[in-house]
Amino acid sequence: MNSATSLPTGRRAPRLRASSVAAVVLGGVLAIIWLPLTLSLLIGGLGALPALGSGLLLLIPWILLMRLAVRLERWRAVAVHGMSVVVPAQRRSRRSGLAGWLHDLWLEISSLSFWRGVLHHHLALLVASVFCALSLTLLWVGWQSGMIGLQHGAVDIGALTLPRWASAVISGVLLVLSVLALLLGAIADRGLARGLISGSEEQLRGQVVELTHRRQGAVDAAAQERLRIERDLHDGVQPRLVALAMTLGMARGQIHSDPERAEQLVGQAHAEAKAVMTDLRQLARGIHPAVLTDRGLDAALSAVAARSPVPVDLEVQVTGPLEKEVEAVAYFVVSEALTNIARHSGADSATVQVLQTPESLRVHVEDDGRGGAQVRRDGQSTGLAGLTDRVRATGGRLEVASPAGGGTVLRAVIPTSGDPRSLDPRMMEPRESAAASASPRPARPVAAEPTTQEDPR
């Protein structure tokens, strides 16, 4: 989970709702089974830890259940009490695969917000059970008092005679107290939610931490881009310009003594100047492609796939407008991935899927090559490292799974709503739409100047 997010609730909600009272009743019923079960798992797991760590068999399911319970409690605070809940920011692992998932799990369960949520969940169940039991007790006593008055009339209690109307009054008072007990339980439940999960200074600190990480991602991405531009200028454009200057110098020296040779040299210089212009266009495209601005993400990705020497099956499902930053990041993810596939993977084919959801833009790139791709930060192989930093700067995530001999799968999730709470690249699995399963759409060519293979690292 990424930047801290406030779940909007619109106008100010009333303190008590019918759903708040119903939640107390439901919580009291669930507490009969759920509360002893969770406490048994926790106590049993902790007690069995000295026995060769066998307690982990109980603690791991308990932790996974508590993760779900904390999320449900936050949703309940919004839906039932109409509160504004700040979802705390969490650091994200930069690893991929199972190691990344385990690291994410550790970062979450080691945070204070997780344990505050766990405490709130158990206290809410305990409070609901106490007030629900009190309400049921008052309701039962009031019902019995009313039934005694109806069946037996006046009742003698020692030297005191209790008339029928007094029994009715006592029954009514107890029924009112029963309802008040539920109302007090709803108020207590709301107070617990406000104190433990609605947001605090700790959540704000978490937001600062997450924003710091995102800023660092932007800084790293800019540094990687600068290294790429410097390398391309130094290794590509600069030698060509030096050769062009030398050729023109030689032509100027022979323009009087050997005009035919000078004309040949000018022709060579003209061809070299055109090659330099092509290199500069490639460099500009690596910074920000013109087709992306003019024709949108679908056309830009089609152009990239059409230029790829490896056959590419491209599927783009973008249902609405996207921010320029999101489009640019998605473009560079696909472009760099296809460049790496063409240069290093030895693949026979590649598949690219870009899917827009209400919360994010999901990119999936897969090939059948030799695998072994890694994110390196050695100053030389900056492609995947730069992409990781670009995606991280948006609050998203990028994962690379590339076992040796097993091909490479790259998944990126780029938030589009400013809410990166549920961004998980593992949720973006290869899928086949009805149209795609019938006939996968090949990359369609678009008008573009003929160039050599683009390297948008």
Q: Please, are residues 278 and 452 in contact by the beta-carbon 8 Å criterion? A: yes
333 pLDDT band (50/70/90 cuts)? confident
Nearest to 284 by CA among 327, 218, 237: 237
Is pLDDT at 92 greater than 60 in this prediction? yes
What pLDDT is stored for residue 1 in this prediction? 39
- Tell me the mean pLDDT in the region 70-93: 77
Which amino acid is it at 225? Answer: E
Largest CA distance in the chain: 142
Confidence class for position 153, pLDDT limits 50, 70, 90: low
| CA–CA gap between residue 169 and residue 160 (Å, rounded) | 16
Radius of gyration of the chain (CA): 33
CA angle 305, 303, 425 (to 5 degrees): 55
- Which residues, 6 or more positions from 141, have their beta carbon under 8 angstroms from its beta carbon? 174
Calculate what percentage of the chain has a pLDDT beyond 90. 7
* All structural domains of the chain with their residue ranges: 11-199, 225-287, 295-438
pLDDT for residue 77 is more than 80: yes
Helix axes 383-393, 201-232, angle to 10 degrees: 150
Report the distance separating Cα 109 and Cα 66, nearest Å. 9
* Distance of alpha carbon 2 from alpha carbon 422, whole angstroms: 9
User: Taking a C-beta distance cutoff of 8 angstroms, is the pair 1, 90 a contact?
Assistant: yes
pLDDT higher than 80, residue 27? yes
Task: Convert the pLDDT of each residue in 275-302 to its tens digit.
Answer: 777 767 666 655 556 667 777 888 888 8
CATH topology of domain 225-287: 1.20.5
**Average pLDDT score over residue span 42-51:** 88
Q: For residue 352, what pLDDT is reported? A: 92
Q: Are 70 and 83 in contact (CB under 8 A)?
A: no
User: What is the CATH code for 295-438?
Assistant: 3.30.565.10
Domain 225-287 and domain 295-438, same fold? Reply is no
Q: What is the pLDDT of residue 203?
A: 56
Q: In which residue are the tokens 């870009």 written?
A: 354
3-state SS, residue 18: helix
Query: Which of 213 and 30 is assigned the larger pLDDT?
Result: 30
User: What is the token pair recorded at 334?
Assistant: 């696909």
Give pLDDT, residue 146: 76
DSSP, residue by residue, 265-291: HHHHHHHHHHHHHHHHHHHHHHH--HH
Q: Does residue 89 carry a pLDDT above 70?
A: no
pLDDT in tens, 100-110: 778 888 888 88
Cβ neighbours of residue 111 under 8 Å, at least 6 residues apart?
88, 90, 206
Most confidently modeled range among 91-95, 223-227, 295-299: 295-299
Three-class SS of 29-76: HHHHHHHHHHHHHHHHHHHHCCCCCCCHHHHHHHHHHHHHHHHHHHHH
174, 145 Cβ separation under 8 angstroms: yes
131 pLDDT band, cuts 50/70/90, is very high
Transcribe 222-246 into DSSP letters. HHHHHHHHHHHIIIIIHHHHHHHHH
pLDDT(11) > 50: no
Alpha helices by DSSP H, 110-200? 112-152, 164-196
Residue carrying the six token digits 């995606």: 391
Residue holding tokens 């798992």? 41
Residue 86 backbone phi and psi in degrees, to 5 = -90, 115
pLDDT digits (tens, 9 = 90+) for 229-265: 666 676 667 777 887 788 888 888 888 888 888 888 8
